[in-house]
Amino acid sequence: MTHNDAPGSKIPMVVIKRLPVYQRYLSELQKKEVERISSGELAAKIGITASQLRHDLSCFGNFGQQGYGYKVDDLLFEVNKILGLDHNIYMVLIGAGNLGRAVLSYPNFLSRGFIFKAAFDQKQPPVNLNIEGILVQPVRELESYLKEQLIDIGVITTPAANAQEIADILVAGGVRGIWNFAPISLKTPENVVVEHVHISESLLVLSYQLCHKGFGRLPVSY
Amino acid sequence: MTHNDAPGSKIPMVVIKRLPVYQRYLSELQKKEVERISSGELAAKIGITASQLRHDLSCFGNFGQQGYGYKVDDLLFEVNKILGLDHNIYMVLIGAGNLGRAVLSYPNFLSRGFIFKAAFDQKQPPVNLNIEGILVQPVRELESYLKEQLIDIGVITTPAANAQEIADILVAGGVRGIWNFAPISLKTPENVVVEHVHISESLLVLSYQLCHKGFGRLPVSY
DNA sequence: TAGATTGTTAATCGATTAACAATC
DNA sequence: TAGATTGTTAATCGATTAACAATC
């Protein structure tokens, strides 16, 4: 047992990006009430090698039993803990347009501990406008709101033109993570984590594949 | 010159996924009317090495000039061509809820040749419901619509429960690519390309980073 | 116990980077 | 021409896979 989560140790980003995939497949198994699974079976479902799965998990600890495999419940519990899903994460959303509403009503957020505490919009929202049970407030109240509430993540679904300004308010208000859907690169201090969702990138990859698809196999190595 | 786009040759997926990034930065430069750029300057903007940028581009051809660099217009033209953005790509969207509406109105699609030809929704839409100039039709007309129109890509923004059924209709209708936003793994024939958008994966990566962020540097190697 | 499967190490493979000859 | 920068090869680095001793 030489697992590697001491502060300063480096977990490769490529491993971290696979954790949500593991989380998803394990959640499905749990929903189906599957009790145990081996690295071979789970890897086959996901489409990776058993070696890779075990190797990835071993970055964080020893979660299986030789000769038996993994208890689905236990492994999911551990993966959730690694991802920080073992406690609630409080979020605000700014920009209650179509995209913002879609994100607010994204299924499964609540069940994973992501909780929208408030939503804000540029325009003065109609009195008591509610989306998914969240009251939409005018954005000028964001600053004072953040003074009163402890918020972990700010979700930006505004047009690109307003995104930087919102990010500045979020950072000043003590938010430590930004989930940015606006197509613009945000400038933020080093200690704030930003995840930028570039929806259109996957469309371009799709376009590439269609364009270069022969009649046989695809000229792509995964 | 030994570039590698003969049928059967393998362009690594990791290279293909960087092309949209190059496209985006080059578009920005073109908008700013920058005429030329060196691999060093462009790589610095993107946050990669000049070596990697040149190496990636050399998979597809020789687009620069020694001692000069790259003409922004020319390189963008070539990258667009590689991505298949040199001709129009016709799309239909199924599921005109919040997410669907957000995708329909996503900026810059039109300018890059992605054209929504029609939108469909499960519920009988109000007569002449228009979103972004696209008429929303009842989904039962999708099948016959696809017989009449040549559509490249189907965009699925329905709830998970309906996604497979829609995918089947799209495939039967001759669509070669599916851009799937529904949180479910679609079963499709080998010759159909599916890009699945897992929005929440990046939120989990954000959560991980927040959770493991020390007071110094992040324990993450990119 | 015998069989199965993990955790881990070592081998392989592929991607990134460095270096430089070619050349604009 | 001299200086700059490409395209490409070779070196390095890191990620994936294979193999197997440990052990449940």
SS3 of chain A: the string is CCCCCCCCCCEEHHHHCCHHHHHHHHHHHHHCCCCEECHHHHHHHHCCCHHHHHHHHCCCCCCCECCCEEEHHHHHHHHHHHHCCCCCEEEEEECCCHHHHHHHCCCCCHHHCEEEEEEEECCCCCCCCEECCEEEEEHHHHHHHHHHCCCCEEEECCCHHHHHHHHHHHHHCCCCEEEECCCCCCCCCCCCEEEECCHHHHHHHHHHHHHCCCCCCCCEEC
Is pLDDT of B35 > 90? yes
Residue A4 has pLDDT above 80, yes or no: no
Percent of chain A's residues with pLDDT above 70: 91
- Shortest distance, CA B93 to any CA of chain A (angstroms): 13
Q: What is the pLDDT of residues B165-191, one digit of tens each?
A: 999 999 999 999 999 999 999 999 999
* pLDDT mean over B72-95: 97
Residue A14 has a pLDDT of: 97
| The pLDDT value given to residue B112 | 86
pTM above 0.85, yes or no: yes
Does the C-beta of B108 come within 7 A of strand D? no
- State pLDDT tens for residues A105-154: 988 887 789 999 999 999 877 767 788 889 999 999 999 999 999 999 99
| Strand D close to B14 by CB, under 7 A | no
A98 beta carbon to strand C: under 7 Å: no
Residue B20 CB lies within 7 Å of the nucleic strand C = no
Listed residue (B59, B16, B66) closest to B39, CA to CA: B66
Among A40-44, A97-101, A103-107, B93-97, which is the least confidently predicted range? A103-107
A27 contacts in B (CB within 8 Å)?
none
Mutation for testing the A interface, residue in B81, B88, B200 having most A CBs under 10 Å: B200
Mean pLDDT of the A202-209 span: 97
Place B221 in a pLDDT band, splitting at 50, 70 and 90: very low
Quickly give A102 CA vs C5 C1' distance in Å: 43
pLDDT at A216 over 50: no
> What are the structural domains of chain A?
13-83 (1.10.10.10), 89-201 (3.40.50.720)
For residue B203, the chain A residue with the least C-alpha distance is A179
Cα–Cα dist A140/A123, whole Å: 10
> A50 beta carbon < 7 A from strand C?
yes
A210 neighbourhood in chain B, CB within 8 Å? 84, 89, 152-153, 176-177, 193
Q: Which nucleotide is nearest to B50 (CA to C1')?
A: C17
Question: Can you give the pLDDT at residue B210?
Answer: 97
Q: Is the pLDDT of residue A7 over 50?
A: no
Per-residue burial over A68-99, b if 16 or more Cβ lie within 10 Å, else e, is ebbbbeebbbbbbebbbbeeebbbbbbbbbbb
Q: Which residue is nearest to nucleotide D17 (CA to C1')?
A: A51
Nucleotide with C1' nearest the A69 CA = C5
Nucleic acid strand C: bases within 7 A of protein CB? 2-9, 14-19, 22-24
Interchain proximity A102–B98, CB inside 8 Å? yes
Average pLDDT, chain A: 91
Q: How do residues B129-173 score in pLDDT, each as one tens digit? A: 788 889 999 999 999 999 999 999 999 999 999 999 999 999 999
Measuring from the CA of residue A68 to each C1', which nucleotide is nearest?
A: C5
Mean pLDDT along residues A62-77: 98
The nucleotides of chain D lying under 7 Å from a protein CB are: 2-9, 14-19, 21-24
Cβ B69 to strand D below 7 Å: yes
Of A31-45, A62-76, B99-113, B186-200, the one with minimum mean pLDDT is B99-113
Query: B102 in helix, strand or coil?
Result: helix
